[in-house]
Structure formats: structure tokens, C-alpha cells
Structure 1
Amino acid sequence: MANQNVSDVIEQYLKALLEADEQVEIRRAAIAEQFNCVPSQINYVIKTRFTPERGYVVESKRGGGGYIRILKVKVRSGCGLVEWMIERLPRRIREEDARVMIQKLYDEGIVERQTGNMMLSVLSRQTLNVGDRETEEHLRARLMLAFLQSLQYER
């Protein structure tokens, strides 16, 4: 644990809570106090590590009785992970987010290692090489959509 930063420790803590229950409700200030960090550190961890691409939905309520609720995503019966990803795919996607989605597809046995690595290669910044970030992210999202749609019919 000596090599871990506070974000990693907070992430592991929240994931451990989610192991026991598919939903956890926290108070940002209480968690920040527990880990001796600023509340914005909690926001950062939740925003970057508990995303739909990683299998989570986050809800929050501000104010005196406010909370942050993290839920493990359950894919609806009859609607697979690929369809779920297609429905929620943004118009622009960062390379890291594409990597996380491909890892999830691999972890769930939807793509094999070789296919996942090929997808990563095609979606990499080096391969796209379009110059500006916005165009790159739009192109990556379109390619990811094409990959996901092709996976719907290969089963």
C-alpha cells in the first residue's frame, strides 16, 4: 500500500463497499475526513473511476442532506453489454475511455485478447493522428460505434 496514492486507496475502499452491496451511498465530507484529504479528491475519484464505461452510475444530491450514490450497473435482461455501451456512447471519446470500454469487453468474454489489442491499436492517438483533439475524439467515437455494432452480429 506504500506505493498507492490516496485516489487508489479511496477507489479500493469504495469498490470494497460495492462488493458487499450493489449500491453505496456516501457523504463526501465524511469520506474526505476518513482519508484525510480534501472533498474535491473524492469528487475526482468518483468522476474518473466510477464511470458508466467502467460499469457504474453515480447519482448525487447537494445540500444539507446531500449524498453521493454509486451503483454497479446491471445490464437489463435481454439487453447485452454491447447494446448498453452503444446506447450510452458519447459523440466524443477519449483514448483512455475507449481503453476502459475495450477492457470491459475483454473481461466479459465478448472479445478475445487479439481483437481487443487490434481495437486499441486502431483507436490510439498515434493511429488516428488527426491533429486536433476534438476531431480525434469524434473519429474515435465513430470507430468505437462501428466496432460495437459489428459485435452485435458476431454472436
Structure 2
Amino acid sequence: MRNISDIIENFLKSIIELSEDGVIEVQRSALAEKFQCVPSQINYVISTRFSLEKGFLVESKRGGGGYIRIKKLEINSDDQFYETLINSIGEDITQATAVDLLDRLKEEQYLSNKEYRLVKAIIAREVLDLPLPIRDKIRANIFKAVIRIIFSK
């Protein structure tokens, strides 16, 4: 059985897909009531599953009339997506952030399942058995090399 976070994530993604412009506005309290959970559960889902690395822009306005606006970021071109990925990686990258970017690459069909699993294994902390921050720097270099190959013409 799926957990409540998965259910909330799938619900939000489905209404984003149904929206004409890929943007939704929801109220934290209304979602919490709909799914019979605490508002912090909604915050958790939005912060962990709708990040920039995963292809979403989230804006939040707190207060009585507050809302959460979630926008699915569209890929306008391979060049633009390439630059966004390289900039997101930077000089170092954590395993969690790298996996988020990998998920996006797979979701946007830049990677097959097998390629996804291969890259994920290569950048894992168990493979890069080095102290921080060296591990995150090497992961970034490896990941940028993979991105260059994916986007080479």
C-alpha cells in the first residue's frame, strides 16, 4: 500500500497535468483536510517532491489567505536544459540532489531505465568511498561528464 506522501504527490501531479498552463494554486489547510493529515505533511511532500531539481518551481504565501503555487518547469530546448543541469550540479553535489536530477532526466526521457540505474550506481556514496567534501566534488565531475555525453550531438 502506498503511503500518504505518495498519494498527495500523485494527486498534485495529476492536477498539474490537467491544468492548461502547468500551474496550480492550492491551500495547505484544504489539502490537509482532504487527505486527513496535518499541514506539515503537505509541507513535507511539497518540499521533497516538488523541488527545482525535480522540475518544479514552488511559491508560497503564508497567512489566512495563503496558498502554495506549484509550476511545472518546461524544457524549452536541449541547450537550455543542459545549461540548467550543469549550473544545478555546480562544483559539488550531494547524492540526494544528484538523484533528483537523475529522476528528472529519466522523467524527461533523456535516460533509459538501465542508464538511470547505471549512473545512480556510479555516483552512490558507497562507490565514492571518500571523505566529504571530496566525494561531492568527484560526484559533480562524474555527473557533469555524464550530462555532456547525454547532450552531445
TM-score normalized by structure 2?
0.82
The alignment of Structure 1 onto Structure 2 pairs a total of residues equal to 151
Give the aligned partner of residue 38 of structure 1: 38
149 and 62 in structure 1: CA distance in 2 versus 1, 3 angstrom threshold: same
SS at match of 1:24: strand
Quick one: which amino acid aligns to residue 125 of structure 2? Answer: R
User: Does residue 146 of structure 2 align to residue 143 of structure 1?
Assistant: no
Give the deviation of 1:90 after TM superposition.
5.1
User: Does residue 96 of structure 2 align to residue 96 of structure 1?
Assistant: yes
Moved more, 64-73 or 74-83: 74-83
SS at match of 1:40: helix
Give the deviation of 1:91 after TM superposition.
4.9
Give the deviation of 1:104 after TM superposition.
2.8
Give the deviation of 1:113 after TM superposition.
4.8
SS at match of 1:81: helix
User: Does residue 68 of structure 2 align to residue 68 of structure 1?
Assistant: yes
Aligned-pair identity (%): 36
Counterpart among 6, 11, 26 of residue 8 in structure 1: 6
Provide structure 1 residue ranges, at least 5 long, that are not aligned to the other structure: none
Matches within 5 A, 1:47-66: 47-66=47-66
Give the deviation of 1:78 after TM superposition.
6.6
Using the alignment, how far apart are the partners of 2:90 and 2:70 within structure 1?
Answer: 20
CA contact (8 A) 2:54 2:103 kept: no
CA contact (8 A) 1:82 1:151 kept: no
Q: RMSD of the alignment, in Å?
A: 2.3
